[in-house]
Every structure is written in structure tokens, then in C-alpha cells.
Amino acid sequence: MAARSAGVRRLMREASELSQPTDMYVARPLEDNLFEWHFTIKGPPDSPYQDGIYHGRITLPHDYPMKPPSLMMLTPTGRFETNTKICLSISAYHPETWLPSWSIGTALTALIAFMETEPKGALGALDCSEEQRKKLAKESLKWKCPECGCNMKEIFDLMKEQAAQKPKDMDSKSAETVSNVEETFQSDTVEKPADTSQLETKNINGQPENFQETSIPQLAPTSPPFQHIPVTNVIQPVPSRPSDLIQQQQSQPAVANSSSTGLLIFVFSAIFFALLFRRLSSMQ
């Protein structure tokens, strides 16, 4: 419930930011569904689409922006199928490449950049000639959305006014931004096999043969590096061996006996000399 509330707040903020057309796109939610939007994009400059304006639908998950939106075109472009979800690295087909910091404006900028890339048989992609794409670009101005009522010619004129009000250096920056987005986001990654013989084969580990395993980078330790602290040598008494202890215990009685014998000899000698001295004194 909390995630849904956060998503609603995020969508309302984006709706306020995107309500006015820019020189490249405009997007608004439907009146009865905040999680379904209609958008209009201008064809990228210096391309077969530059004179066209294209309308589409965005379906947002309830846990947006944690998960990416689904995109589909409603007007013919010669690049994407109509009423078919487009497989791009910024769409719901590839949630692993989506970042919550991206927005609807980010997705639309990337979609404009993808229009100039090769389809390579991706899901929802078309491979038409340049002449056919130029023809569809001119015809796109006559289209009007039956659901939201957007008139492509009116929006196209508004975008031209926005572009005219921008400084000339901003036009070059816009083209550079589209080019940078094209390099940042890798286009269609899921291709449609022509037949079952073209399905990818897998190795014995269950991975595609062209699968390249990416090693996980080693994380830096969060604790400080180990520091060696020298320890001063402390001389500890070496315990005696059992044999030494036995010899010490056996030698202690001998020392005591020799001390007692010496004391007796000293006492008897003192008594003897005392008696001898007394006898000599009496004879005189």
C-alpha cells in the first residue's frame, strides 16, 4: 500500500511536469486512470521521421517506478508495429535494465533515439524503406486519437513553437542528448526467430552458446585494513622437566641432613673445649 501511494505521488508530479508540450514530446495520463498515459513524440531530426509526429500509449505498473512501463505506438511509423508492446531495454520486457531514477520523460527520450536504430527482427519492430517512412511521417499529421482526442497537427504546431523559442545552441544540445541516449540504451534485445531451426541452442550448463558470464566485482572491505602491531618479547620462565623436579625433591632431604650433622659437630666441639678449658684452670 505504501509503495502504491509513493507511485501515485511520483506519477502526479510527472504529470504536472509533462502537461505542457516540449519541442520533442508531451505526455498526459487518462482522466479515469493514472496508470495509463498517452504520449506524442516528434520524429528525431535529420531522419526519415523528422516531419512526422507519433502517438502512443504507456501502461505503468502499480509499483512504478520500481518497475518499467510498457510502451506501444498507436500511429504507424514504419519502425514499430501499432498496438503492439515494444521490446526495448527501457520497457517492461527488460526490468533488469530499468532504474527507478528514470522517468516517463526518460523513456520517451530513449524511444525517440531508438527510432533511428536498426530493428534487427526485434519484437514489435518493423523494417520499412526510407521512402515509406517519410510517407508515413507526412500522413501522421492527419491523425487524431479517438480515445484522448489529441490532434496531431495541433500538437505538431505547438512543438514547432517551442522549438522556435529555444536558443539555437539548445537545438544542438537536444540533438546531442538524443544521440547520447541512443548510445546509453541498447536497443531491441529480443529477436523473433524465423523458424524453429533458428532458436538458440544451449550448452550443457543450460546457458546459450553465446552467453558470456560476467564476473562479480569484488567488494572493497568495509573494515580498516589489518595492521601488524609488533609485540615485545616477554621472557617467560621455562617450566622444569619432570625429571628435574624429581631430582630437586630428592636432593632437598640430603641438604637438610648435612645441615643437622654440622650443627651437632659444632655443639659437641664447643662443649669439649669448654670442659678442657675448665680442667686446665683448676690445675693451676
Closest CA to 26 of 162, 185, 141, 125: 162
H/E stretch holding 154 reads helix 152-165
- What single letter denotes the amino acid at residue 17? E
Count of C-beta atoms within a 10 Å radius of residue 230: 5
- The rounded distance, in Å, linking the Cα atoms of 107 and 184 is 12
Reduced to 3 states (helix: H, G, I; strand: E, B; else coil), residue 160 is: helix
Alpha carbons 112 and 3: distance in angstroms, whole number = 30
Active-site annotation holder among 87, 128, 145, 150: 87
Calpha distance 95→154 (Å, rounded): 35
CATH fold group of domain 2-192: Ubiquitin Conjugating Enzyme (3.10.110)
Q: Which residues contact 97 (CB under 8 A, 6 or more apart)?
A: 89, 90, 186
User: How confident is the model at residue 169, as a pLDDT?
Assistant: 53
How far is it, in rounded angstroms, from Cα 108 to Cα 106? Answer: 6
pLDDT at 136: 97
pLDDT of residue 202: 42
**pLDDT score at 225:** 42
Contact 65, 105 (CB under 8 A): no
| Contact between 81 and 89 (Cβ < 8 Å) | no
145 is catalytic: no
Per-residue pLDDT of the chain (284 residues; tens, 9 = 90+): 666 778 899 999 999 999 888 899 999 999 999 999 999 999 999 999 999 999 999 999 999 999 999 999 999 999 999 999 998 889 998 999 999 999 999 999 999 999 998 887 777 889 899 999 999 999 999 999 999 999 999 999 999 888 888 776 554 444 454 445 555 554 444 444 444 334 343 443 444 444 344 333 443 444 444 344 444 444 444 454 555 544 555 555 554 556 677 777 887 788 887 787 777 777 76
Sequence ranges of the domains in the chain = 2-192
